[in-house]
Amino acid sequence: MSSPHSSIASIGEGLHALISRHIDRAFRAILRGEGVTTTGRVITLVTGEAHPFGNCACVTDPADPASIDEALRLLECCGGPSAVLCAGDAPEACASRLAAAGYTIPSPMPCMAVDIERLGETPLAPGYEFTRVCNAAQGDAWGEAFGAGYELPPRTGASWGPNRAGVNYAADAPLEYFGIVKQGRMVCTSVVYYHDGVAGVYGVSTLPAARGMGLGAFATAEPLRRALGRGYRVGILQASAAGLPVYQRIGFREFGSVPLFVRMGA
């Protein structure tokens, strides 16, 4: 594993490539078990459920036509909604292949980074408790809350959870799952993947009834503050349209983007 980078500036012009590559590695670490296929070119999850996240592929090298073809072949069996995320810039040949298969690109996903010591304040609302997921029961609760926050079908939500990933709950594990709990119920989630010298935040999801209170900002920033104790100084993520202003507000900056192609099917 690479030594932690000391700052965004120390990474230089390679930051966008690092963030793009991190996506691929994170998917490979998180997605395991039934419905998952991992090759040297692509990793796919196929649940058959009617949601793009339930039938998705992450392409390691989108400039390689064979990689795009392999992703399409692995997704063709689902028939319903599906998505292809590219771990890097998608050249015209890639976009054309996906367009011919019925995929459209709604918007790019910004690649973002922050020097962790410069994160803005993210107070936790009264009555909520932040916790690190450290056992299988909490892992099930994490998967349920993650899925509910993204309004995913149940099996799809569980597919992204720590128990499916066979995660190691040790304090120095490369994957750490976190949640925010109110009255015994997990209402917000996040996960940090330590790789390539940075701490990458994924899986930030808040139940609809708990939105608007800064929980997503806290579930993003607090795990990164804890990452300082492991020697990590740079945090990264890829933002959705809804999450972008939240991340900007707490100090994240944009460094390019990665394309997400979606096909809604019949």
pLDDT band, very low/low/confident/very high, at 234 (cuts 50, 70, 90): very high
| Domains in the chain: ranges and CATH | 8-110 (no CATH), 113-255 (3.40.630.30)
Phi then psi dihedrals of residue 244, to 5 deg: -55, -50
The per-residue b/e assignment along 145-179, b for 16 or more CB within 10 angstroms, e otherwise, is bbbbbbebbebbbbbbbbbbbebebeeeeebbbbb
Residue 79 has pLDDT above 80, yes or no: no
Share of the chain above pLDDT 70, in %: 98
CA distance readout (Å), 258 to 62, 108, 138, 252? 10, 6, 32, 16
What are 244's two structure tokens?
Answer: 């972008």
Q: How far apart are alpha carbons 261 and 83 in whole angstroms? A: 6
Q: Do residues 160 and 179 touch, judged by C-beta distance below 8 A?
A: no
Question: pLDDT tens digits, residue range 110-147?
Answer: 999 999 999 999 999 999 999 999 999 999 999 999 99
Instruction: Give the pLDDT confidence score for residue 172 in this predicted structure.
Output: 87
Residue 36 has pLDDT above 70, yes or no: yes
Residue 190 has pLDDT above 90, yes or no: yes
